[in-house]
Structure 1
């Protein structure tokens, strides 16, 4: 039933719920961005840390929730697919929309290029290694040839890398000379608004995901296609709104930092958290690795574009959108059986 069982699960009702949930996500992301901006100024955080830690973790709550729910429902592959699809959406679509939304080129920085982007590529590599270790040392009895179980000790590997990421950010904060914060910032009120914004986003995205899932089932959209495209885009909506708003206000570093920081959190924290809750979850290496390969290529593309002139032009923004359209076309071809690069999808 839609809206926590209060409304019938019809196509029309779910369309209306999706529209209402999208509006709530817009409101919640606005509260999140404003409160994070005020709190970051109060505590003297650099713009890149504000985007890659404070805002990124907040706007990544939908992805974290989707992985937890998927693990509890025994469809962890679907959750991982949504995470990786969301990461590809974040890397290609969000910077593109942010670049298009600004009047001039979207400015980046050497910190974004040489620290955030490269650390994110390291995060992708560590996740691939974790999946490979699961297949080698904890194979699934009677399962597909390239399937294994991610256990809690294996889940600790990406979590430890995220601890290193936090340590690096902490070092940057300790070296940063911030301006004196104003005395007129109501700290408790801003923390309260941050919490309410997170709650609104979480509830709205849960309904958004439910509505999209129902419509995909009603109209016969394959589960794999819905996971890596529709659900991925739905859970990325808060990241999109926050990043575009930051870009339009002239905060290009915060906008791009949110994208890379959110993806780093999703891969190194959201997926392991689902494992820690359940204890052990199966992973199909043949499905996961081609998607992570595409994510790696998308990250390299964004890294190369950002390094060119340390900015993102309108032409480069549209090129990223074209790359995402090509990705969606490939996933549709996989679902339709036209191509067969993703085995078992």
Structure 2
């Protein structure tokens, strides 16, 4: 029930709850990300690690929360859809808007392209392999031959890869020598603000998932597509705000590293954590693979434009935005039954 049982579900109430919850997600994420950035500067972390790990995990907390609450509500497909849709949004829209907002090409470097971008490609591949293993070795009897159970042991595969990612980042921190930046605010207060942001996001996402689920049932929209559209857009807002702000401040590397780091966290941690909490969830390979295919194409496109002269120009930014517009048109066509690429 919306607002902890105080209201009954209805289309109007659910839309209002979605808007209000999105606003609170933005508020809590602002607290979380500001604290994460200040703490990163205080502890002297390099820009790539700050963007790809600390800030990225903070801005990805809404996606993690959405998967957890969707799993507990029995609509794991919606949580997976939110993660995949958010990842596509992050890859195509956020770099485009960040580049256009900065007013100049976003400069990158080889570390970002060859470490972060390529590791993210590996993350996409490992998640697809994990889904395939679920279908092959833990099939759901009596149903579609392309539906399998994603179990806790299988969820450890992407989690293990994220452990390797953290190890690589730790190595970069060990090799980095930077002065700590103290903004005069007590460190304890920063940690308290970070915890408060996490709490606000948890409450807001719990309400958001419930209202999106109710709307999807009312209008007959599949859980996965509801997650890819409404839930993904709401949970991607923090990533968008962080990347645009850092790009305007002239920190292009941190801005782009946040995008890649957020997606790596979403795929390798958010989805497996939902499985670990619930125990086992069904995964429809026929639904998941086409969306992962779109995500793979989006990733290749971003990698290509970042590698050209190690910068993202305005024309390339418009190309990324146009690609996302095509994706939205396709998702709407799928929802209306005009296309049937998702079986």
TM-score, length of structure 1 as denominator length: 0.93
Instruction: Say whether residues 1:170 and 2:170 are aligned partners.
Output: yes
Q: CA, structure 1 residues 286+316, in 2 after alignment: closer, same or farther (shift >3 Å)? A: same
Q: CA, structure 1 residues 210+152, in 2 after alignment: closer, same or farther (shift >3 Å)? A: closer
Contact 2:151/2:280 (8 A) holds in 1 = yes
Matched length: 343
CA RMSD of the aligned region, Å?
Answer: 1.9
- The residue that corresponds to 1:89 in the other structure is 89
Residue aligned with 2:104, SS: coil
C-alpha distance in structure 2 between counterparts of 1:142 and 1:8, whole Å: 36
- The residue that corresponds to 1:330 in the other structure is 330
Deviates more, 1:2-11 or 1:224-233: 2-11
Residue aligned with 1:254, SS: helix
Q: CA, structure 1 residues 327+60, in 2 after alignment: closer, same or farther (shift >3 Å)? A: same
Deviates more, 1:141-150 or 1:200-209: 200-209
Residue aligned with 2:309, SS: coil
- The residue that corresponds to 1:117 in the other structure is 117
Q: Kindly provide the CA deviation profile for residues 146-167 of structure 1, in whole angstroms up to 9, marking residues without a partner as x.
A: 1111121111111110000000
- The residue that corresponds to 1:42 in the other structure is 42
C-alpha distance in structure 1 between counterparts of 2:27 and 2:81, whole Å: 27
Residue 5 of structure 1: how far off its partner (Å): 2.4
- The residue that corresponds to 2:303 in the other structure is 303
- The residue that corresponds to 2:269 in the other structure is 269
Residue 183 of structure 1: how far off its partner (Å): 7.9
C-alpha distance in structure 1 between counterparts of 2:32 and 2:303, whole Å: 27
Contact 2:75/2:223 (8 A) holds in 1 = no
C-alpha distance in structure 1 between counterparts of 2:190 and 2:140, whole Å: 47
Instruction: Say whether residues 1:126 and 2:118 are aligned partners.
Output: no
C-alpha distance in structure 2 between counterparts of 1:163 and 1:60, whole Å: 17
Residue 69 of structure 1: how far off its partner (Å): 2.0
C-alpha distance in structure 1 between counterparts of 2:84 and 2:322, whole Å: 19
Q: CA, structure 1 residues 41+85, in 2 after alignment: closer, same or farther (shift >3 Å)? A: same
Q: CA, structure 1 residues 113+226, in 2 after alignment: closer, same or farther (shift >3 Å)? A: same
Unaligned runs of 5+ in 1: none
- The residue that corresponds to 2:66 in the other structure is 66
Residue 14 of structure 1: how far off its partner (Å): 3.8
C-alpha distance in structure 2 between counterparts of 1:281 and 1:15, whole Å: 28
- The residue that corresponds to 1:231 in the other structure is 231
Residue 320 of structure 1: how far off its partner (Å): 1.0
C-alpha distance in structure 2 between counterparts of 1:215 and 1:138, whole Å: 31
Contact 2:127/2:268 (8 A) holds in 1 = yes
C-alpha distance in structure 1 between counterparts of 2:220 and 2:287, whole Å: 21
Residue aligned with 1:283, SS: strand
Residue 39 of structure 1: how far off its partner (Å): 0.6
C-alpha distance in structure 2 between counterparts of 1:93 and 1:334, whole Å: 21
Instruction: Say whether residues 1:144 and 2:144 are aligned partners.
Output: yes
- The residue that corresponds to 2:160 in the other structure is 160
Q: Kindly provide the CA deviation profile for residues 112-162 of structure 1, in whole angstroms up to 9, marking residues without a partner as x.
A: 111111000000101111111111111111120111111211111111100
Unaligned runs of 5+ in 2: none
C-alpha distance in structure 1 between counterparts of 2:284 and 2:324, whole Å: 24
